[in-house]
Amino acid sequence: MKYYSIDNEGSVFRPTHLFCYDKNMDFLTALGEEIRLPKHRTLLSPNTAPKYCYYVLSGRIIRCGFTAMHEEVIYDSFGEGALIFELEALLDRKLKTIFKTATPCVLIQIPPDALMEEISTNKSSMLQFLEYLASVRLHGNRQARETSLQCVEWKICKLLLTFAEQYGENYDGKIRIKEKITQETLGKMLNISRGSVVRTFKELRDLNLLEQVNGYYCIRSVEQMRRYMDKIDNLTF
Strands 53-58, 105-110: pairing kind? antiparallel
CATH T-level fold of 11-146? Jelly Rolls (2.60.120)
Domain ranges across the chain = 11-146, 150-236
**Chain-centre distance of CA 172, in angstroms?**
26
User: For residue range 20-29, what is the model confidence (pLDDT) as tens digits?
Assistant: 998 999 999 9
Of 118 and 172, more confident? 118
Mean pLDDT for 202-229 is: 93
Share of the chain above pLDDT 90, in %: 64
- Give pLDDT, residue 120: 96
> Is the confidence at residue 1, as pLDDT, over 60?
no
> Is the confidence at residue 134, as pLDDT, over 50?
yes
Architecture of the domain delimited by 150-236: Orthogonal Bundle (1.10)
> For 221-226, which contacts have Cβ atoms below 8 Å and span 24 or more sequence positions?
221/174, 222/6, 222/161, 222/164, 222/175, 225/157, 225/160, 225/161, 226/13, 226/161
- Give pLDDT, residue 9: 42
Mean pLDDT for 163-188 is: 90
User: For residue range 49-71, what is the model confidence (pLDDT) as tens digits?
Assistant: 999 999 999 999 999 988 777 77
Of 93 and 179, more confident? 93
pTM beyond cutoff 0.75: yes
Q: Using 50, 70 and 90 to split pLDDT, how confident is the model at 236?
A: low
User: For residue range 85-121, what is the model confidence (pLDDT) as tens digits?
Assistant: 999 999 999 999 999 999 999 999 999 999 999 999 9
Mean pLDDT for 216-227 is: 93
In one-letter notation, the amino acid at residue 33 is E
In whole numbers, what is the pLDDT of the chain averaged over residues?
88
What is the C-alpha separation between 54 and 44, in angstroms, rounded? 11
- Give pLDDT, residue 71: 79
DSSP secondary structure string for all residues of 41-72: -EEE-TTB--SSEEEEEES-EEEEEE-TT--E
- Give pLDDT, residue 12: 40
Lowest mean pLDDT among 12-26, 184-198, 208-222: 12-26
